[in-house]
Amino acid sequence: MPSPHDDMGTVLNLAEAPRRVVSLVPSLTEAITDGCPEVLVGATQWCTHPADLDVSRVRGTKNPDREAIVRLRPDLVIANKEENRELDVARLRAAGVPVWVTVIENVPEALESLERMFTKALQVPAPDWLTTAQGIWSGPLPPVTATAAVPVWRDPWMVVGSSTFTGDLLRRVGIANAFAEHPDRYPHVAIEEIDRPDVDLVVLPDEPYAFSEEDGPEAFQYAPTRLVDGRLLTWYGPSLLPAYDKLRQLAARE
């Protein structure tokens, strides 16, 4: 049986199923703990789900403590092309630590990547929640019922642009991204470009910028705003299940 390769095409020579895993991706940390929790020994400080996660912390996604990771003697480290630095991946591999890198820019990629992570990297069956998510999120795109802008930062304002998981997720519940054709994935824009009459809705997540009732909605005059759990918009894992119904409510403007 050939050795598995990650989403970047890097072959991993795993003699047996990993028993000690470190995750550098919050979404994937939650996914692993809801699939094979016994293998997880380390995670970043941003890995907030599940709330009772009790593993060693290895600093952040962009500045992981590589020495602490090596000390944990992991059989495998799980990373993501967008969330983690290529330099950290390269140096962990140079230290003899196998790293499985995921690439996720849309919902089909997320579902396929998650299944490969479980069955090829972790060598366990795909969990039931993933099978359910594949059924929910597959199929033809629904009609567009609203156009939304999704700020992810302010001062300066940044929004979700083209070729993003969040934009694709919203489109699959009938919400078009107002900046889907922008050449950048997370462009800086003026507030006037967001707050305009042809935008039906401004979706304000609580991460990475912590928009709240007191911080965000007051900036907009034309479009109504909706505060949303950022995990439902940007995380790929068990959160895909509640995300479907809650984001469809946005599309229906309920």
- Residue 12 domain flag: no
175 shares its domain with 238: yes
Give the residue from 136, 159, 194 where a domain finishes: 136
Give the residue from 78, 104, 136 where a domain finishes: 136
151 shares its domain with 80: no
Nearest alpha carbon to residue 211 among 151, 149, 165 = 151
127 shares its domain with 164: no
Three-state SS for 168? helix
173 shares its domain with 129: no
Ramachandran assignment for 3, one of left (phi > 0), alpha (psi -120 to 50 degrees), beta (any other): beta
Enumerate the β-bridge partners of residue 205.
228
- Residue 27 domain flag: yes
232 shares its domain with 201: yes
131 shares its domain with 155: no
100 shares its domain with 49: yes
Distance CA 209, CA 25 (A): 18
Q: Within 10 A of 165 (CB to CB), how many other CB atoms are there?
A: 20
100 shares its domain with 182: no
In the predicted model, what is the mean pLDDT of residues 178-204?
A: 96
Could you read off the pLDDT of 230-241 as tens digits, one per residue?
999 999 999 999
How confident is residue 254, by pLDDT bands cut at 50, 70 and 90? very low
- Residue 244 domain flag: yes
Could you read off the pLDDT of 13-47 as tens digits, one per residue?
887 999 999 999 999 999 999 999 999 999 999 99
151 shares its domain with 132: no
- Residue 79 domain flag: yes
Task: Report whether the peptide linkage leading into residue 74 is cis, meaning its omega lies within 30 degrees of zero.
Answer: no
- Residue 13 domain flag: no
CATH code of the domain in which 199 resides: 3.40.50.1980
The secondary structure of residue 60, as a DSSP letter, is: -
* Number of domains the chain contains: 2
- Residue 6 domain flag: no
120 shares its domain with 221: no
64 shares its domain with 121: yes
- Asked if 178 and 152 touch (Cβ cutoff 8 Å), the reply is no
125 shares its domain with 206: no
- Residue 233 domain flag: yes
Could you read off the pLDDT of 76-98 as tens digits, one per residue?
999 999 999 999 999 999 999 99
Distance CA 197, CA 145 (A): 16
pLDDT exceeds cutoff 90 at 223 = no
Give the residue from 107, 136, 165 where a domain finishes: 136
- Residue 7 domain flag: no
| Domain extent for 73 | 21-136
Distance CA 74, CA 133 (A): 29
